[in-house]
Structure 1
Amino acid sequence: MSDAGGSTHGEDPTARQRRVWDDSAAHYDRQMAFFERIWFGGGREWLGERARGRVLEVAPGTGRNLPHYPADVTLTGVELSPAMLAIARRRAAELGREIDLREGDAEHLPLPDASFDTVVCALALCSIPDPAAAIGEMWRVLVPGGRLLLVDHVASTWPPIRAAQWLLERWTIRSAGEYFTRRQLPLVRAAGFEIVATERLKAGSVERVFARKPAA
């Protein structure tokens, strides 16, 4: 039995998200290949082109960003879902790409302060239960002057599409904890990041954010 937020009684939101992503892992790549063709095209390349140094990817899922990172970066990934993590490890091995992949929660990253030059998060803050906490953790693990790179779907700038997103959320929040009318940019600003560049695409329903932690 589920409550109004779609979780099983006694199951906290993070545990619910782990279950949702474990259940969807086997067909996630096929589903995302379709959406990336029609909606998110170029987003992963955009992230990879801007990543520098020691890179942390938060919620890497099945590792779909791995082919797009420069050869000279050092990669770490923290993923909530063990099933997603297993696929990401296989993908890294197939690509011959070294990456330290760890199971963990974006809201409580198992990593030391100021240990990364770049933090990347793609299409995940839309379903992380507390996105402000996750962005706070991204701030914590970045060095002063470090880069934050985000791509996600957000509330459209077109009212008819935004209304449709709101209606879709009535189902997706309950079933998968996924929001379509969130916008991460205000949370990034509130955390103290300096905005370097933003771009909105697809009637404003996709946003790319390049921000920087101020230098000490």
Structure 2
Amino acid sequence: MNATPDETAKVLRAWEKTAPGYDKQIAIFERIWFGGGREWLGARAQGRVLEVAIGTGLNLPHYPTDASITGIELSPAMLARAKRRAADLGRAVDLHTGDAQALPFADEAFDTVVCALSLCTIPDPATTIGQMKRVLVPGGRLLLLDHTASTWPPIHAAQWLLERLTIRTAGEHFTRRQLPLVRAAGFEIIEVERVKAGTIERVHARKPMPGS
């Protein structure tokens, strides 16, 4: 599915509106739902790292000190907060405003691509994962963290109902699963973890080497 300009604009409006209070709003979920996920990503990131949909920069404290970090974000208001967080951490980060569905970077420019809790809102996740593959070097790492359809039917049903509102208002999905798209893009799957009744999934994949 190719995203329409209207779909992307809806997501942008939602994040611009959410940005001022985002860190406070998500704090409780960081503790009880996403706990350990950002550390998991940071422990696996290496080299030249691109974070897609960097948001307010909540992953920045967890990256290795010797990694070179580039971030891209659709919302200028979110990106401004990531810039402040990087400054507070004393961390040099190359930040860009842009669309994850059309990454403005050269082929094979990064050793690691990270995306946390964002493919659920990007209108065309398949295209985005294809873009991530394009900018990775052969053998490069793809690291994803996102919420997905629960393995427990009552929770899955509640997620589906919630989506009836959130997709319409903010383009946010709760029952998407990114793993099939990663496989379809031709990545090799290294690790998959599902936690919190299957509602959170962590994926570590690798771009194949030529001829493999």
Q: Aligned ranges for residues 30-179 of structure 1 at < 5 Å?
A: 30-179=24-173
Q: Which of structure 1's runs of 4+ aligned residues deviate more than 6 A?
A: none
How far apart are the structure 2 equivalents of 1:52 and 1:215?
A: 17
SS at match of 1:151: strand
Instruction: Confirm or deny that 1:199 pairs with 2:196.
Output: no
- Identify which of 195, 204, 212 aligns with 1:210: 204
1:185 is the counterpart of 2:156? no
**How far apart in 2 are the matches of 1:29 and 1:169?**
22
> What secondary structure is seen at the aligned counterpart in 1 of 2:165?
helix
Following TM superposition, by how much is the alpha carbon of 1:11 offset from its aligned partner in structure 2, in angstroms? 6.1
Long gaps (5+) in structure 1: 1-9
Return the alpha-carbon distance in structure 2 between the equivalents of residues 94 and 32 of structure 1: 20
Q: 1:114 corresponds to which letter in structure 2?
A: E
* 1:102-154 deviations in Å (ceiling 9; x for gaps): 00000000100000000000000000000001000000000000000000000
| Alpha-carbon distance between aligned partners in 2 of 1:45 and 1:17, rounded to the nearest angstrom | 27
User: Counterparts of 1:31 and 1:180 in 2: how far apart (Å)?
Assistant: 17
Gap runs ≥5 in structure 2:
none
Aligned residues: CA RMSD: 0.9
* SS of alignment partner, residue 121 of structure 1: strand
Rounded Cα–Cα distance in structure 2 between residues aligned with 1:215 and 1:31: 41
What is the count of residue pairs matched by the alignment? 207
Aligned to 2:12: 18
Please tell me the residue identity of whatever aligns with 2:153. Answer: P
User: Could you tell me which amino acid in structure 2 is paired with residue 41 of structure 1?
Assistant: G
The whole-number CA distance in structure 2 between the counterparts of 1:87 and 1:52 is 24
